[in-house]
Amino acid sequence: MTPTITAFERSPDRGRGLARDMRVRWALEEAGQPYEVRLVTFGEMKEPAHRALHPFGQIPTYEDGDLVLFESGAIVFHIAERHAGLLPDNANARARALTWMFAALSTVEPPIVELGTAALLERDKAWYAERLPILEGRVRARLDELSSRLGEADWLDGAFSAGDLLMVTVLRRLAGTGIVETYPNLSAYVARGEARPAYRRAFEAQLAVFTGAAPPADA
Ligand code: GTB
C-alpha cells in the first residue's frame, strides 16, 4: 500500500524545505518508498477530519492502511524500522541511532524553535532586542556541544542514519541566521545531508508544491 502524508498547501517557508513534512519525505525517499501527499490549508488542519488524524491539528501525518501516525519523529522511526538504510542492523548501533533521533528532537530542536518563534512572533516586543542574544546563546551552547561531538566525522555515529536525517533537518531550521555557518564542521555536515540524492528528490517535491511545477518523475 502507498502511504499518504500531509503537508502545507502553501508553506510559509516558500518551499525551502523547513516544514516538518520535509523530514518524512526525505525518509521515504531514502527508503525507496513511493508516497502520496495530501495538501492541507491552515483552516483544514483545524477541522475535525484532520484532527482525527492529528490531535494537535498540524502537519505532517502519515496514513498507511489502518495505521495513522503523527509526530515527524515517530513517522521517521516507523519508516526506518521497516526499510533498510536508515537504522543499523547491530542492536547497540541501532539504539545509538535512536538516541541521536531523540537528541535531535528533544535536545537540539527546542532552542532552535524558541529562537525561530521569537523572530517570527515577538519581533515587535519591547524586550525582543534583549531576549534575542539569550536565545541565540542557548542555540550556540547546543551547537558547540554537537560540533565537538561530530568533530571531523561525516555522520554522528558511523554510517548515515535516521539520527543524522533528523539532526540535519533540525539544523536547517537555522537557515538565514548565519549561526550554523560559524561551525565549519556542522555546515559541512548539513551540506552532506543536502547532497544526498534522496534529500534532493524530497526537496524538489516539496518545492514543486510551492512553485506549482510538476513534481520530479521519480518523487
Ligand atoms: N512535534 C510535531 C512534529 O514533529 O511533527 C510538530 C509539528 C508541527 O509543528 N507542525 C507545523 C504545523 O502544522 C508545521 S512544521 N503548524 C501549523 C499549526 O500548528 O497550526 C513547523 C514549521 C512551519 C513553518 C516553517 N517555515 O515556514 O519555515 C517551518 C517549520
CA distance 210 to 8: 9
Q: What is the pLDDT of residue 50?
A: 98
Q: What is the mean pLDDT of residues 74-89?
A: 97
Q: What is the mean pLDDT of the chain?
A: 96
CA distance 148 to 128: 30
* Cβ atoms within 10 Å of 96's Cβ, excluding its own: 17
- What is the CA(90)–ligand 1 centre distance, in A? 33
CA distance 157 to 149: 10
Q: What is the mean pLDDT of residues 196-208?
A: 98
CA distance 19 to 8: 8
Q: What is the pLDDT of residue 216?
A: 58
Lowest average pLDDT, out of 26-35, 84-93, 180-189, 207-216, goes to 207-216
Judge if the beta carbon of residue 71 lies within 6 A of ligand 1. yes
pLDDT band at 213; cut points 50, 70, 90: confident
Convert the pLDDT of each residue in 113-171 to its tens digit. 999 999 999 999 999 999 999 999 999 999 999 999 999 999 999 999 999 999 999 99
Atom of ligand 1 nearest to the CA of 13: 27
Three-class SS of residue 46? coil
Q: What is the pLDDT of residue 37?
A: 98
More confident residue, 212 or 101: 101
- What is the CA(120)–ligand 1 centre distance, in A? 13
Atom of ligand 1 nearest to the CA of 60: 5
Judge if the beta carbon of residue 23 lies within 6 A of ligand 1. no
Atom of ligand 1 nearest to the CA of 12: 27
Q: Which amino acid type is present at position 87? A: L
* Cβ atoms within 10 Å of 111's Cβ, excluding its own: 18
219 has pLDDT over 60: no
Q: What is the pLDDT of residue 215?
A: 61
- What is the CA(49)–ligand 1 centre distance, in A? 18
Judge if the beta carbon of residue 20 lies within 6 A of ligand 1. yes
pTM of the model: 0.96
Cα angle 102-35-26, degrees, rounded to a multiple of 5: 40
- What is the CA(15)–ligand 1 centre distance, in A? 13
Convert the pLDDT of each residue in 22-81 to its tens digit. 999 999 999 999 999 999 999 999 999 999 999 999 999 999 999 999 999 999 999 999
pLDDT band at 87; cut points 50, 70, 90: very high
